[in-house]
Chain A
């Protein structure tokens, strides 16, 4: 095990998979010589040459579409979109082309396409560079949605993504690139659809992903000071979702708090809550809590930006509400 940064873990994954298969290549804005704005692709141009590490003009729809076409034709492209906000320009290619091709061809066509991008708030980059848009992709059948929170998952999931035959939306977080974590030496692969318990506990289940994981772990630390043992579950991949792991944890703790940075309305948390209430209703001792972003575009002002998305105290408060909720039968007395 070594302690490395999230961005280095991503680079290792790309490097190892490019070495493993000559079908893997990368296109994106400023990803070749410059190594990308977050330095994920640094050094890959020198190693794999301009054929497989290519800068593109600023033309997201074209670039995503070209990636999808290359995937359909049998290559394994990684298209890096600098900010998830810019992926909106390529939505036809993602939603109508990549996601549909396999079904439309009766299963004979596959699309081994990976779109790497990053989202989330932080640093006052304002409304068009701060969105958490996973729910858009989560909603579209045919897409896998991956949101790693720690370097080990970033590496393992990206390697797995590059061996998939379906389109993968690989959503990183701008605030995580320089965070560090232990990553196993040698080959390290994390399968999709397997949630990870980032902290075991028995009193309340906290479900979070991406940059909400470090914040939720801080909240769990805070709760631990009062003797509350929160279990923190990271689905790691939203599609496929490891609902068994979530239901198992809820069966143990009887309480669920779902934390997402994205706006609340129409979000993934709401869908996870619906799964829990449908499949684990009788395990619940309290209403499911959702801690989510406000239903607004993200403001530039740093204090207001902070007020727009869940903070540690919001998560602690939700967990306490859940723990202090009286069972319905008792409340009626």
Chain B
């Protein structure tokens, strides 16, 4: 007898396509963004999210409108997964007035509080208390919104990790802390910065429901986040998720990442989250190769259009800057 597919648990084509589109969009944004950086069009720092796409993609797909996120210094992926307009993102990288922060913030500070994005952060670990604060604000306002903070293995060694997660725990906040454990804090291997590299256990120590997941499997991340959000909305939050992943390159664009062993990099590249999102879509929805190609071309075109938009946007004038400064 043939096994019947379990329809209720099978992801819909719509969801699978959304996850692939998001992961692929992040991949294109980062790959093409690095090219813009190399051309000297993007200044400052650029911390690529390449290799970690599965986490932002899976997490954000499980959230709903009205929820909040707080990001890291490696924030483009979260921003895109949260539905940001990539035209305004590219414009911000190019320091243009049409950027999310009018060119005042740049790569590490893209935020959109009107959509519940509390922003990327130049201080490692700082998003955790800010996210807990948003969760507290929502609880006080009587909202069932969930706030997710993305932090890192580096951020988990910061004192506010424990301080604010503990506050979320004693107040049962709708808060999900996602640790993107990519194995490196800048160039320091996780084995050199902590004795127990299973970071989810830190949540267990203070009574927080905690899980570990393969961060390169966007569907697994999605499913776990969906459960965590439901736990929070049932008043049983917070939840900690440690998502294991790996960077595909150094800490930032100008870091060749020579300290990253090639075999380990190869291991993770063989488990590329974008490929896995594509494979899941193909295998579970029956989409044909032509449709996949069309989606990829569409996203590539969207990025190119964003670059044109950004390039044709103007920079703030010094006079406008002085007007803003006068308010300080």
A contact residues vs B (CB 8 Å cutoff): 22-23, 25, 51-52, 54, 56-57, 59, 61-75, 77, 92-93, 96-97, 101, 103-109, 141-142
A108 surroundings in chain B (CB, below 8 A): 101, 111-114
Contact of A104 with B109 in the complex, beta carbons under 8 Å: yes
Contact check, B133 vs A69: say whether CB atoms are below 8 A apart. yes
Is A73's CB under 8 angstroms from B133's CB? yes
Find the residue from A66, A70, A105 having the highest chain B CB count within 10 A: A66
* In contact, A142 and B105 (Cβ under 8 angstroms): no
| Interface size, B (range) | 35 or more
Instruction: Tell me whether A73 and B163 are in contact (CB under 8 A).
Output: no
**Bound Cα distance from A92 to B139, whole angstroms:** 25
Whether the Cβ atoms of B104 and A104 lie closer than 8 Å is: yes
Does A59 contact B109, Cβ atoms closer than 8 Å? no
On whether the beta carbons of B140 and A25 are closer than 8 Å, the reply is yes
Which are the 8 A-B pairs with shortest beta-carbon distances? A69-B133, A65-B129, A62-B163, A106-B102, A69-B130, A73-B134, A75-B137, A59-B163
Nearest-Cβ distance from residue A285 to partner chain B, whole angstroms: 33
Given contacts A75-B141, A104-B109, contact A70 B103 (CB under 8 A): no
- Does B140 contact A69, Cβ atoms closer than 8 Å? no
- Do A56 and B167 contact each other (CB < 8 Å), given the known contacts A62-B160, A66-B129, A97-B130? yes
Interchain residue pairs with CB less than 8 A apart (10): A22-B140, A57-B163, A62-B132, A65-B163, A72-B119, A72-B134, A96-B123, A105-B113, A106-B100, A108-B113
- Indicate if the CB atoms of B164 and A105 lie closer than 8 Å: no
| B328 and A142 within 8 A (CB) | yes
Q: Mark B161-175, 1 if CB is under 8 A from A, else 0.
A: 011101100110000
Q: Are A70 and B167 in contact, CB atoms less than 8 angstroms apart?
A: no
- Assess the A66–B136 pair: CB atoms within 8 A: yes
Residues on B with C-beta less than 8 A from A57 are 163, 166-167, 170
Known: A57-B166, A109-B119. A68 touches B129 (CB 8 A): yes
Contact A101 B119 (CB under 8 A): yes
Q: Please tell me if the beta carbons of B102 and A66 are within 8 angstroms of each other in the complex.
A: no
Are A61 and B163 interface neighbours, CB within 8 A?
Answer: yes
B99 on the interface (CB 8 Å rule)?
yes
A91 vs B31: C-alpha distance when bound (angstroms): 36
Q: Mark B213-256, 1 if CB is under 8 A from A, else 0.
A: 00000000000000000000000000000000000000000000
**Cβ of B122 under 8 Å from chain A:** yes
- Smallest CB-CB separation from B123: which chain A residue? A96
Report B85-130 residues with CB < 8 Å from chain A CB.
99-105, 109, 111-114, 116, 118-119, 121-123, 126, 128-130
